[in-house]
Chains A and B, each alone.
Chain A
Amino acid sequence: MLLEVKNLHCMVDGKPILKGLDFKVGRGEVHAIMGPNGSGKSTFASVLAGNPKYEVTEGEVLYDGVNLLDMSIEDRARAGLFLGFQYPVEIPGVSMANFMRMAVNARREYLGEEPLSAADFLRLMRDKGAVVELDTKLTNRAVNEGFSGGEKKKNEIFQMAMLDPTLAILDETDSGLDIDALRIVANGVTKLKRPDNATIVITHYQRLLDYIVPDFVHVLYQGRIIHTGGKELALVLEEEGYDRIINEYNK
């Protein structure tokens, strides 16, 4: 197992959000997490990434056999955990090239690899930019500064391509995207799929799953996974909503 989450509880501002979440991801798999607003989807992503706003009160998370909750945010990232943010922040004056070079070399250092030379790095930027049809001009601009919503999301997938993560978590990457951007983002994710890595896609909508075909679809509700199915579950949810599953669970 690449990721094993057992009985995870967490609080934010004293309020419990996750209440005994169990979840497993194996290498080569794509998981989709769906669920109504406020069910804890983004919280789950944040807890995995290590956002200090969320306090884990109970449970265990093993990442590649190691206790993930003991690791710093940056070490989780360096160990191959990537979070595509729902709302990527702007960092004025810091060029994407500078930012990514520091990121990529920090990951390489952690893995015991030599830092990339300027030439190799620029080549990598160009190659990975092509994955999400990212305008090369964007990589010369400051991190997310003045980017449109679509550009920001493409930029997240571009960074994912640059960092080559083992486990990528995409938090509502499809929100605010028009159909073309959605296709580009989804194709990017699909291109990055390999037998030795895995992806967790958090989404509200079935439409993203037309492009990124999941192996498993989970329904998160009130801080727990209450139902798991195959890719066809997404279609069912799209048609009838969450009510039937929630009602069954409440029984």
Chain B
Amino acid sequence: MSEADKILDEVTGQEYKYGFVTDIDTDTIPKGLNEDIIRLISAKKNEPEWMTDLRLKAYRHWLTMTMPKWAHLDIPEIDYQDIIYYAAPRTKPKYESMDEVDPELVATFDKLGIPLEEQMALAGVAVDAVMDSVSVKTTYKDTLAELGIIFCSMSEAIAEYPDLVRKYLGSVVPYADNFFSALNMAVFSDGSFCYIPKGVRCPMELSTYFRINAAGTGQFERTLIVADEGAYVSYLEGCTAPQRDENQLHAAVVEIVVLKDAEVKYSTVQNWYPGDKEGKGGVYNFVTKRGLCRGENSRLSWTQVETGSAITWKYPSTILAGDNSVGEFYSVALTNNYQQADTGTKMIHLGRNTRSRIVSKGISAGRSQNSYRGLVKVGRKAAGARNYSQCDSLLIGDKCGAHTFPYIESENPGAIIEHEATTSKISEDQLLYCNQRCISTEDAVGLIVNGYAKEVLNKLPMEFAIEAQKLLSISLEGSVG
């Protein structure tokens, strides 16, 4: 091994830093999946009959489906009867103040560097912290309530706002959409619901920290965001998970509805346990995220920083149905060691003068495989549709892989679709230059990677951008932004 390889090996061979298990009592149900389990989940959550029925319908449909195989991923066989489908922290469901919160839970957030109090006080972020499926804490609710904004757990929404939920749940991602959306609808344990009424600009970033904790528990979140006419909201989702040996399946669904003149920004920083250096363990992240720009002049922007999970399989997508609607997708996907990612987006242009922009930055290190897969589709009626896509890949070392699968389908001859792609490596000359300026190789790699990803990181809200920079550095170890 040459000196440079050795250094790269050291820099990229870092183990996951957030591997710890929080010792909180969890209330679990038996392993496996059948109609009784689904009824039990629904009953534990005190759900109305329509919800139970919806779950059962989804389950019955799921039974007719098989797991898709088209991704550029090597996925071990998953035994769906070997998964526990529900776990809730066995603590009181509601808290009035921080003092009542399980100190263990607070300590966990502290270890992650996301103290709730500080965020509440300093950043003005309302946090709906989802820890193993049930929301344990919802903040800033009163402030939001004054504006008519609903931000609560999905369970609460089902109980309190059944009309809104029934109107929109499954309207963008129906349960029959795909294998995992059917599974999710059948067994989802909780998630977040957000409704911004007509003409309201949400004054703060809404944020949910997801965290998988109970060993062997599949995590099935369901998120629904509705921005009514002229509304605006910026929503943040961030995740870290404790270290463990068995694989954990995560199949979340995120649905976003954007009505006329409304705008939604959805940002994700994903850092689930990627498995150890040999590729053992780690989270499977198979998520369906889709937004519908239903009204004229509506806008939806996805920004994601993906550093975690053993396997990442997701395509946050936007259906541009309203005339003049705009979809954006900004992504950084970093894979290291034996991680695999097949991620990208779909932009479906249906309305006139719809525009979309895709900026994807892949970073591959170690022995990882990183694929961009994207679809730009222009329908017959989408006169004046425009898309610009830029897909860049950065390779660190010579044992990793980067792949790009862009699909373009246009039924409208007037559409303008542009695609640019580059592949580059961190050069030894760049490292030498940084070293000669006193900067260690580890820091230099982080610096270069953050520079490369800057266009995407700049799209994140400030606090999140800093966290994301740190993540990129930690994931490659030690790098800086």
A-B interaction: yes
Give chain A's interface residues, CB within 8 Å of chain B: 49-53, 72-74, 77-78, 82-83, 85, 88-89, 91-94, 98-100, 102-104, 106-107, 110, 142, 159, 163
**Top 10 A-B pairs ranked by shortest CB distance?**
A93-B451, A94-B451, A73-B435, A106-B438, A103-B437, A93-B454, A77-B438, A107-B438, A74-B435, A89-B429
Interface residue B163 (Cβ < 8 Å from any Cβ of A): no
Encode B436-464 as 1/0 by CB contact (under 8 A) with A: 11111101000110111111000000000
Given A89-B427, A91-B430, are A52 and B3 also a contact pair (CB < 8 Å)? Answer: yes
| Chain B interface residues toward A at CB < 8 A | 3-4, 427-430, 432-441, 443, 447-448, 450-455, 480-481
- Residue of B432, B441, B443, B480 contacting most chain A CB atoms (<10 Å): B432
17 more CB-based (< 8 A) A-B contacts, given A89-B433, A91-B448, A159-B437: A53-B428, A73-B432, A74-B436, A74-B438, A85-B433, A88-B433, A91-B430, A91-B447, A93-B450, A93-B451, A99-B434, A100-B437, A102-B480, A103-B437, A103-B438, A107-B438, A110-B438
Contact partners of A142 in chain B: CB under 8 A? 451
Q: How far is A94 from B437 in the complex, measured between Cα atoms in Å?
A: 14
Complex Cα–Cα for A159 and B435 (A): 13
10 contacts between A and B (CB under 8 A): A50-B436, A51-B432, A77-B437, A78-B438, A89-B427, A94-B450, A99-B437, A99-B447, A107-B438, A142-B451
- Given A52-B4, A91-B430, A93-B454: A72 and B447 interface contact (C-beta under 8 Å): no
From residue A111, how far is it (CB to closest CB) to chain B in Å?
10
Tell me the bound Cα distance from A103 to B480 in angstroms.
12
Give the shortest distance, in Å, between B336 (CB) and chain A (any CB): 20
- Cβ contacts under 8 Å, B447 to chain A: 91, 94, 98-99, 102
Roughly how many angstroms separate A93 CA and B422 CA in the complex, as a whole number?
15
Q: Which residues of B contact A77 (CB under 8 A)?
A: 435-438
Q: Residues of A contacting B428 with CB < 8 Å?
A: 52-53
Please, which residues of chain B bring their CB within 8 A of the CB of A53? 428
State A51–B433 Cα separation when bound (angstroms). Answer: 10
Could you tell me the distance in whole angstroms from the C-beta of B241 to the nearest C-beta in chain A? 29
Give every chain B residue within 8 A of A93 (Cβ-Cβ). 450-455
The residue in chain B whose Cβ has the minimal distance to the Cβ of A72 is B435
Candidates A51, A92, A102; contact of B439 at CB < 8 Å: A102
Q: Which residues of B contact A73 (CB under 8 A)?
A: 432, 435-436
Q: Which chain B positions have C-beta within 8 A of A88?
A: 433
Find chain A residues with CB under 8 A from B453 CB: 93
CA distance A74 to B439 in the complex (A): 6
Report the minimal beta-carbon distance from B429 to chain A, rounded to whole angstroms: 5
The chain B residue sitting closest to A102, CB to CB, is B439
A74 and B433 contact, CB distance less than 8 A: no
Provide the residues of chain B in CB contact with A50, threshold 8 Å.
Answer: 435-436
Q: Verify B439–A106 contact, CB threshold 8 A.
A: yes
Q: Which residue of B has the minimal Cβ distance to A145? A: B451
List of A residues within 8 angstroms of B435 by Cβ: 50, 72-74, 77
CA–CA, A82 and B448, complex, Å: 21
- CA A92 to CA B438, docked complex, whole Å: 19
Q: How far does the alpha carbon of A89 sit from the alpha carbon of B428 in the complex, in Å? A: 10
**Nearest opposing residue in chain B for A142, CB measure:** B451
Say how far A108's CB is from chain B's closest CB, in angstroms: 9
Q: Which A residues lie within 8 Å of B427 (CB)?
A: 89
Q: Please report the C-alpha to C-alpha distance between residue A78 and residue B436 in the assembled complex, in whole angstroms.
A: 8
List the A side residues contacting B455 at CB < 8 Å. 93
Q: A85 vs B450: C-alpha distance in the bound complex, in angstroms?
A: 24
A106 in contact with B443 (CB, 8 Å): yes
Contacts of B448 in A (CB 8 A): 91, 94
Chain B, Cβ-Cβ closest to A107: B438
A82 to chain B, nearest CB (A): 8
Q: Are A106 and B450 in contact (CB under 8 A)?
A: no
Which among B4, B430, B450, B454 is the interface contact of A89 at CB below 8 angstroms?
B430
Contacts of B436 in A (CB 8 A): 49-50, 73-74, 77, 82-83, 85
Question: Would you give the shortest CB distance from A177 to chain B, in whole angstroms?
Answer: 20
What separation, in Å, do the CA atoms of A53 and B454 have in the docked complex?
31
CA gap between A50 and B434 in the complex, in Å: 12
Interface centre among B428, B429, B434, B437 (most CB of A within 10 A): B437
Complex interface: chain A residues within 8 A of B4 (CB): 52
Min Cβ gap B426→A in Å is 10
Q: How far is B444's CA from A98's CA once the two chains are assembled, in angstroms?
A: 11
CB-CB under 8 A from A100, the residues of chain B are 437
Chain A CB within 10 A, most for which of B439, B447, B450, B453: B439
Please name all residues of chain A whose beta carbon is closer than 8 Å to the beta carbon of B454 when the two chains form the complex.
93
**Chain A: minimal CB distance from B422 (Å):** 10
**B438 near A91 (CB under 8 angstroms)?**
no
Q: Please, which residues of chain B bring their CB within 8 A of the CB of A82?
A: 436
> Chain A contacts of B3 at CB under 8 A?
52
Residue numbers in B under 8 Å from A78 (CB-CB) = 438
**In the complex, A78→B447 CA distance in Å?**
18
In the complex, which residues of chain A have a beta carbon less than 8 angstroms from the beta carbon of B437? Answer: 77, 99-100, 103, 159, 163
Residues of B within 8 A of A92 (CB): 451-452
User: CB distance A163 to B450 under 8 Å?
Assistant: no
Cβ of A102: which chain B residues have Cβ within 8 Å of it?
Answer: 438-439, 443, 447, 480
Q: What is the distance, in angstroms, from B185's C-beta to the closest C-beta of chain A?
A: 41
Docked CA distance A163–B438 (Å): 9
Q: Taking CB as reference atom, which chain A residue is nearest B453?
A: A93
Q: CB-CB < 8 A to A159: which residues of B? A: 437
